[in-house]
Amino acid sequence: MENASIKAIKQFIVLLLIYVAINGILWVGQELYYYADTKKINEIETVLKNEKQAINTIESNLLSSEAKLNQKESQLNIYKSLGDIEKYNNGVDEYNNLLQNYQSVLENYKIKLTSYNLKIDEVNALIKNSGTRWYLIPIPLPGKDYNPRI
């Protein structure tokens, strides 16, 4: 009786070691197979982190420029309502320069944002492709030593 239980424990340990070995081989093989994709994902994520900071800086600049534009427009409207044409005409050039600067920053923002979104799409595709891993799941199969209990 004791000999049979030791034999069963040994068989279980052997099966467990085989299971661990096969899963280890599967894991290493998949990691090697997807190594280039994983490296590219890490590189793109680093670039994305830097681009996100640049985009945030540009957004801050846009908000600041927009506030200056609104302030200058209000000032111009006051000059116009007061009939102070000289100050109004002098302010129009400054307003146009601010507007041109705002549009330039906005165009740069759109380009950076488009580039950022394309990289996000690329990294998501790589993650979807290389993110799947296969493992062996042990399922006991009946064998010659299988004695069902009814």
Residue 88 lies in a domain: yes
**Predicted pLDDT at 144:** 45
Residue 6 lies in a domain: no
Residue 106 lies in a domain: yes
**Predicted pLDDT at 136:** 65
**Predicted pLDDT at 29:** 87
Q: 115, 107 in Cβ contact below 8 A? A: no
**CATH classification at residue 114:** 1.10.287
For every one of its 150 residues, what pLDDT tens digit does the chain have, with 9 covering 90 and above?
568 889 889 999 998 899 888 888 888 888 888 889 889 999 999 999 999 999 999 999 999 999 999 999 999 999 889 888 898 998 999 999 999 999 999 999 999 999 999 999 999 888 888 877 666 665 554 444 444 433
Name the token pair of 18. Answer: 């085989």
Alpha helices in the chain (DSSP H): 2-33, 35-82, 85-130
3-state helix, strand, coil in the chain (%, to 5): 85, 0, 15
- Evaluate if pTM is beyond 0.85: no
C-alpha to C-alpha distances, 52 to 89, 93, 124, nearest whole angstrom: 40, 34, 16
What is the residue range of 88's domain?
A: 34-130
Residue 13 lies in a domain: no
Amino acid identity of residue 136, one-letter, is: L
Number of domains in the chain: 1
